[in-house]
Amino acid sequence: MTRFFVLAMAALLFLSSSSVSRADFAPILGDTNGDGVVDIDDLNNVRNSFGSTGLGDTDGSGTVDIDDLNNVRNNFGNRSVPEPSTMLLALLSAGAIGFVRRRIR
């Protein structure tokens, strides 16, 4: 019974940590499309919307301007990191799976 409970908890933790979404990552300035990385797609979003409203408005000013271009330039290549709660869940999941694997042997 205990083994079943531990296995069920490990499976639950694994499933919840494997469904990490974009919302689990801290936002990064310049990431116009919300994919967690500032790259050429974000630069294109700023270029395509420059002077108007649109996806390239990184600072929420209402207009895509030189400040947005600078936000993309200054963070180009940066990736967002998972929120601490997501990291904790992943660590708990890995620990639970390791515990179960050791108990089964």
| Of 10 and 36, CB closest to Ca ion | 36
Distance CA 84, CA 94 (A): 15
> 54 Cβ partners below 8 Å, 6+ apart?
45, 48, 64
Residue number with CB closer to Ca ion (24 or 35): 35
Nearest distance, CB of residue 70 and Ca ion, angstroms: 16
73 vs 103 by CB, closer to Ca ion? 73
CB atoms within 10 A of CB 28: 18
Name the residues that contact Ca ion, by CB under 5 A: 31, 33, 35, 42
